[in-house]
Structure 1
Amino acid sequence: MADQDEMKVILCICDNEKAFTSWKDLIDARCGIDISNRCIYELSFAEVNGTVLSLLSKNCKSRRFLPCGGGSKVLLEKKVERSLNTLEVLCVNQCEGGNEDKLIMEENFYKGGKVWWWNFYFSEQPGSTPFIKPDKFDFIMNAVIPDLCSLRKACVLLNLMHIPGCGGTTLAMHTLWALRNRFRCAVLRDSNADFAEVADQVVKLLMYDHDEHLPYVPVLLMIDDFDDKEKVFDLQQLIEKECAKKDIQSKSAQVILLNCMRTESAEQPQLLAVLVLLNVYCKDIG
């Protein structure tokens, strides 16, 4: 049995609280040592494994990780990611270990090109200029998202209304990037995809390596280029039905749909000038 000094370098991992309590009581009775501060018991082995692997720099370059309960991470298996073919999954360690040219990426963006995850990644590196936060970014992060998460509904909707060319898509992507450690973030690849398949894959992403523990880490799904509001509602309802089929409780939002909507209204000269609360389950920012 380990002595006090040896216990300082031992980390005990149990797969449930009952096992932890049994070992804790036994070691306390036999050795007078409290292992509470040296024991992990609220995380699954998959979460412990993913968290440990993510700490190794070489794994950050070759493997991809998703956030899980308690600030842990799980490994996103390549075959699983391939099966989520309607979604572009944004991982916790997105871009780490890549070799993209920073100057070319920045030049392309500032010339009016589409923003990439690389632009956000480079802006966070030492010595780089921070990415300029679009109007309402802090409001969405600190007020709207927490408010949506508190709703007792499986799938909630946030409509982000913007004039073309004013940075609405960039704002949405910046929001996903900033929340990738707290949500399982993804972008819908094709607005014409089979919505039943999309709903199935969104719920699979929600439950992946996390189905033994509640609450789940919510999914934040960005949608762009939908030409009809009804399509978004259809997708929302299909996701809700899929959650009900999997018996996922809705004490809080499990999926947030961040829908970028373009508007040509001349009465909206600035991006995201007004917040309009439509109802408790759907918000429009425009």
Structure 2
Amino acid sequence: MVFVCIISNTNDILIKCVGGRLSGLEVAFFRFLFSALWLLPFMLARGKGSFQTKYPRVHFVRSLLLVLAMAPWCYGVASLPLTLATTISFTTPFFILPMAKIFLKEHVGWQRWAATLIGFGGILISVNPSGAAFNPMAFALVASTVMFASLDIINKKLLTEDESLLSMLFFSALGTAVLGLIPALLTWETPTLQELGFLALLGGGGSLILFCLLKAFAATEVSALQPFRYVELMLSAIFGFIIFQEFPATSTLLGALIIVPSTLYIVFYETREQKKKKKAALASGELQQAT
């Protein structure tokens, strides 16, 4: 999980390096194009069957959401301090909560609503819209986080278990590159060889992050992994200072102090509730067998 945090910070650094000249739309396009190219040899090694899918609509929806998520993320990261971008990225659970209530009809207790409202307060403090140094691109990061939350809801509602992880990664990357091509052409600047190298690393890093995350989730509970994500906040502050001479604003640090415990509470609360449901289901099954 620490490795994931390092790769994630490295990807944001790469976005800042190329995002000064290339548009966020173009960076997002190349990110997924190279991701698909990195995955292609593994698809070929598995044979023609790996290129067949039963769920083209699911992949289309996921690809569309990825375009809508990555483009504003690239614009925002290129314009804002790494620490602020990382802090805002932690707020995904706050947006998942109301979506789960509306679209998945999940029961949401008052504890999670309270943690979410407190977390939104942390977002406002971090973004600091009334401050003299306010950058409107902060809202691009918030919009991106909303799209990533929507993607999580789609995954939970539509994805099935009989499609391989490799196929899902490949088709999503390829679909996102195809959908992102025309918007990228509208703001096109031909990348230099160095920029192409950075973009290739960005695409490979994106696929590696998801692979490592899924491996980590398979090895232990999500709640046990969540605290490791906050290593990313520390690393973003260190890398931002060393590479870009950025120092976290007071508002960013104060917002992080609110957002971090709020997201931790939501994750641990959900894990506890899931354990209760599993125990209740097991007890019910044992009771039925006994009768």
Which structure shows the higher helix fraction? 2
- Name which one, 1 or 2, has greater alpha-carbon Rg: 1
Normalised by the size of structure 1, how large is the TM-score? 0.24
**Structure of higher RCO (CA pairs closer than 8 Å, 6+ residues apart):** 2
Normalised by the size of structure 2, how large is the TM-score? 0.24
